Structure formats: C-alpha cells, structure tokens
Amino acid sequence: MTEFTPQDPDFEARTRASFARQTFMATLGAQMSAVRSGYVEIVMAYNDQLTQQHGYMHGVALAGIADSAAGYAAFTLMAPDESPLSVEYKVNMLRPGAGERFIARANVIKAGRTLSVVQANVFAVDADGNEKLLQTMLQTMIALAGKSDRVEFNPAGAS
Amino acid sequence: MTEFTPQDPDFEARTRASFARQTFMATLGAQMSAVRSGYVEIVMAYNDQLTQQHGYMHGVALAGIADSAAGYAAFTLMAPDESPLSVEYKVNMLRPGAGERFIARANVIKAGRTLSVVQANVFAVDADGNEKLLQTMLQTMIALAGKSDRVEFNPAGAS
Amino acid sequence: MTEFTPQDPDFEARTRASFARQTFMATLGAQMSAVRSGYVEIVMAYNDQLTQQHGYMHGVALAGIADSAAGYAAFTLMAPDESPLSVEYKVNMLRPGAGERFIARANVIKAGRTLSVVQANVFAVDADGNEKLLQTMLQTMIALAGKSDRVEFNPAGAS
Amino acid sequence: MTEFTPQDPDFEARTRASFARQTFMATLGAQMSAVRSGYVEIVMAYNDQLTQQHGYMHGVALAGIADSAAGYAAFTLMAPDESPLSVEYKVNMLRPGAGERFIARANVIKAGRTLSVVQANVFAVDADGNEKLLQTMLQTMIALAGKSDRVEFNPAGAS
C-alpha cells in the first residue's frame, strides 16, 4: 500500500466526527472500525431489514459501507477546511450478501489536490473469521476547498 | 426509447411482488410507482435518517432506488423462471441530494439472453413538480436461468 | 437534450484544433464530423488493423472515439484558458464491432465549474444508414484552469 | 493474489495465439510479456502516433493494453471451447501518459462460470525501472461457451 502523509494531524477525530453525522450509516448499523492515513474500515452486521428479494443483504447496503469507507479514506488526507464529495463510483458484485458480518476496507490509490481515487473491497466474515470477497469498488472523490465539513450547506443553494 | 416485447405477460405482477420482498426498499421508504416493459420508476421521500454528514440524502440511498429501478426494468423482460442479479453498476453523482421527493427512472438499453444493460437517472422533484437530475447510472444485470425469483436461495450454497 | 451556453464563442475552432493535435485519432482514422455547444460527433471507418481476435473492430478502438467525443463535448463548454483531462470513464460493450462505419455521439449531461459528466454512444452504421447501438459510455472530465490547451505540458513535471 | 487452477493446461499457448490475432494490439505496438494462470502482463513503448493533444500517450491507448491484459487474464482460466468477450470496464486515469515504456498488469479477482471480474493497472516505467501508476481498471468478461476462440464469428450474424 502507498504511504500517505496526512495534512491534518487530527484527521482521525475529524473523520470519525463526520462519519457520526451520517444518519444513513446509523440506519445501516455501520460502524467505523479503523481509521488510518489513507485507509478506513467500516463494519456492519447482517440485518433482515436491509435485504434484497432472496434474503441476502442488498448489494446497495453493502456498497453503502464501501462508498463510505472510500470517501472517508480520502477525507483522512484532506486539509481541515476541505469537505469531501463523492463524484462517482463503480462497483462489481462478485457474490451475494450472505454472512453474519460484513467489512469494507478502503485504500486511497491517488490523493490529488482536487481529486482522489480510492479502491474499496467488501468482505463477508464468518464466525471463524474467514473472509470472502463480495464486492470491489473504484471511487472518485472531490475535495471542496474552503468548505469546512462541519458547516451545513444550504440546500436551497445546491446546484 | 427502444420498444421491448416481454416474455411474460404477467411481468408487472411478478416485478411488483419481487420488489415487495426487498426489505431494504421498505427501509428506504421506496415505492414502485410505474412498471412497463423495459421500464421501472421508483420514488422515495426525503428522510432525515438517510442522510450524509451535511443533511443531504446520502448518495448511496439515492443510488439504491436507481439500482432497484434498473434491476427491475431488466426483470420485466425476463422469463418467469429467471431471477435477476446485479453484476455491476457505475453511478455519477451530479448534484447533492437536496429535495422533498426523489424519483428514479430506469430504461433497458440492451436486453440480451444472459446480460442486460440498463440506464437509470435519479431526479429531485420540488413542490411544483420541477425536476433536477441528481445521478446517472449504468447497470449490468444477469438473468439466472431456472431459478424462480420466488424461491429462496440457500445462503449456505452462496459462492 | 439540455441546452448549454458556451463561454467561448470560438469553441468550434478551438475544439477542432485540439482534436487535430491528437495523433491517436489520426491512427484510428477518426474524424470530427459535428461540433455543437455541449455535443460532439466523431466517425471512423472499419479498419482491419484495428481489430480484436475475431476480426471485429476492437472494443477499445470504438471506445476511443466515444472517449474523444465525450471529452471534446465537455471542451466546447470550457473557457479559452482551460484544458480538458479525462478523469475516468465506464463503457458497456453491447454488441461486437461489426459494420462499415462507426459513429460516436456525445452529449454533456452536467457542465460544472471543475467537473463535467458526459454520456456517449457508439453506433455501427450500415450502407442504408441504419444504426445499431454498440457501446454506451459515461465519462467524467476535469477542466484544468489557467492551462491553455495549446501549450505543451512538461512531461517531466507530470504527476 | 488469489490462486487459480486453469481448466486448460495449454492456456498459455492458447492465450498468446489469440492475442496475436488482435491487429489492434500490433497497431499499438503492444506485446504480451507474461502469461500465468489468472494473470497477464502487456507492454508497449511510447509512440508519437498514439498521443493526445499535449503529446502524452492517449489515455485510451493505455486503457487498450489494460483491457487486453484483463481480458486475457480471464481467458487463461477458460475452457478450450470458450471465447472471451468484454462486457464492460471502468478506468480511472490517475496521471498523464508520460514515460518511455508502459506496462499493464491484470489479475483475475473472481472467475465465475459465466462472468469473470478482473483488476488491471497501467504503469509508466522509466529508464531505471521505476514505476508510476497511471491507470486503474475494473473489467467484466463473459465466457461464450461452445465458441472456440479460433473460429471467426460471422459479422453478418452479429447482434
């Protein structure tokens, strides 16, 4: 993995605080289990309120923790006055969402001044800790300069 | 739009029944508002339990209705003994999720024997019915032959 | 299609001049057949030096005219001192590259200050002018401000 | 990297022979430098007939060796009577195509009965053998059963 030097020594607290403001992650029951420079890990348990038609975890719920891990992996490397926005992602669903527990791991591949590219994988973990790769994602993030992530944007001004 | 002839005259009932089994869609508050041959529309309201850190609807929640609309648009053209599985999708997030109501519209671009490709857009709709494009998605679906969508897969046999 | 107002009234000449500097497009035998505000069309003929293993046009050669049409569609809306760079694209190959002539049509979906998102399709055209959709692409472009597209970048400074 | 057991002990000869039939690869000056089970490497030199408007190698030319490496990495694991077809790919362009030599490395992530997913990276290599990551790609391949890769398809029957 590439080594990255964070611009903000307090990146972990800033990253965890932003994640905690995402109500969607709470709805998914997702928790941020690890935060390092250019790397984030998010876990969630199987939940029968988040399934597709066959009882598997819905692919989008799993992509949700991948997207969030990827976005926050990029966020760890941003300056304190920058806010992250997801530009796009692509995800391949390799296996259905069977498992008790799921873990998304995201590594920054390229941290640019404006854009970052992040690679994320989602694994199912069984009771013995064995992992199976379920999804792989490539994501592009943009850093919005001069917009602290703590300030609410004005929805009326959204464009 | 391309015209498609469904293989199953009962496609609408079959599609709506499968959608109703996706608990994740209920968690999102999503409803299937239109089902036509090769076309599906899904709507959801703004929900403060589905937001990102700035209070906008989380991009993944919106991608969720796009993915579901896209998958079920492909499903309308499948045979009664075929079950759909999402292979991959790519989504561009053009604008943040500001709005009272959101609508995903999905059109099948290519319906193959095995694979289908679907294009979906997510719009925010304001009180006057004005729409703004928030996301655009390309999705690939596979038809699993001989696996009725009503039968539960065996999670233990998942690979 | 969305209507866009170009920032540069001379966008067509600027766009065609930049395209003419892409030696790869000459190698593909590609020509820019139409340039409008937010829209570009590129054509190429079948060429047995650009095939895959079965004699069809290679999917990447066709994606090449889609990528170029998409990038230049975004370029038509940029300011004279901005240079375009392709951030990423995703392409679905719907049918093999059989045909005498191929045409890529690209429409800007969202023209942002920094990023633009473009949708492009590649069609095969037969002798009677009938078209068949071969590929569909979503592309993200970034505008590099203060870098005229005419100036050579310094390859040594590339990062 | 995941270990894969090839179905065909002669996979290397079969893979190299198919690659040799891609005239587009010859036009790019691309050579298959390594073929292993689930892994392929393709190299090409800088060529001023394959550039974009600033003199860098065109992103699509580099994506061409990534796509080919990815497709053939999947092909190494297919049965002798199966032919590969690229379903879709997504590529992120991280840095411009500056360099003397370029190398694409592709690893199969998931080899399914019908679909395979492959991850490919393109690196620039300098005179001292130092590498810089230029592109990263995710690709989906389909195996067409009962269609030997040596037989020409009938372009007239293409759909």
Do residue B92 and residue C136 have CB atoms under 8 angstroms apart?
Answer: no
Do residue C138 and residue B94 have CB atoms under 8 angstroms apart?
Answer: no
Q: What is the pLDDT of residues D32-64, one digit of tens each?
A: 999 999 999 999 999 999 999 999 999 999 999
Q: What is the pLDDT of residues B20-45, one digit of tens each?
A: 999 999 999 999 999 999 999 999 99
What is the percentage of chain A residues whose pLDDT exceeds 90?
Answer: 83
Q: What is the ipTM of this complex?
A: 0.91
Does residue C155 have a pLDDT over 90? no
Mean pLDDT of A38-47: 98
Q: What is the pLDDT of residues D62-87, one digit of tens each?
A: 999 999 999 999 999 999 999 889 99
Q: What is the pLDDT of residues D90-123, one digit of tens each?
A: 999 999 999 999 999 999 999 999 999 999 999 9
Q: Please report which confidence band the pLDDT of residue C132 belongs to, taking 50, 70 and 90 as the band edges.
A: very high
Residue B144: its H or E element: strand B131-145
Q: What is the pLDDT of residues B97-109, one digit of tens each?
A: 999 999 999 999 9
Lowest mean pLDDT among A18-32, A144-158, C19-33: A144-158
Give the integer Cα–Cα distance in Å for B77 and B11: 7
Q: What is the pLDDT of residue D158?
A: 40
Q: How many residues does chain C have?
A: 159
Q: Are C71 and C16 in contact (CB under 8 A)?
A: no
Q: What is the pLDDT of residue D152?
A: 56
Mean pLDDT of B120-127: 95
Mean pLDDT, rounded, of chain A: 92
Q: What is the pLDDT of residue B2?
A: 74
What is the percentage of chain A residues whose pLDDT exceeds 70?
Answer: 93
Interface test with C, best of D49, D60, D140 (most C CBs within 10 A): D60
Q: Are C109 and B136 in contact (CB under 8 A)?
A: yes
- Chain B residues touching residue D87 (CB < 8 angstroms): 87, 115, 140
Residues 102-141 of C with CB under 8 A from D: none
- Domains of chain A with bracketed CATH: 11-147 (3.10.129.10)
Do residue D85 and residue C67 have CB atoms under 8 angstroms apart?
Answer: no
Q: What is the pLDDT of residue D127?
A: 84
Q: What is the pLDDT of residues B144-153, one digit of tens each?
A: 887 777 655 5
Give the integer Cα–Cα distance in Å for B52 and D158: 46
Distance (Å) from the alpha carbon of C27 to chain A's nearest alpha carbon: 30
Q: Does residue A142 belong to the interface with chain D, where contact is any CB pair within 8 Å?
A: no
Mean pLDDT of A5-22: 95
Strand-by-strand arrangement of the C101-111 sheet:
C31-36, C39-45, C101-111, C115-125, C131-145, C82-93, D82-93, D131-145, D115-125, D101-111, D39-45, D31-36
Does residue A71 have a pLDDT over 50? yes
**In sequence order, what are the residues at sequence separation of 6 or more whose Cβ sits closer than 8 angstroms to the Cβ of residue C151?**
none
Q: Where are the alpha helices (DSSP H) in chain B?
A: 11-20, 23-28, 59-75
Does residue C31 have a pLDDT over 50? yes
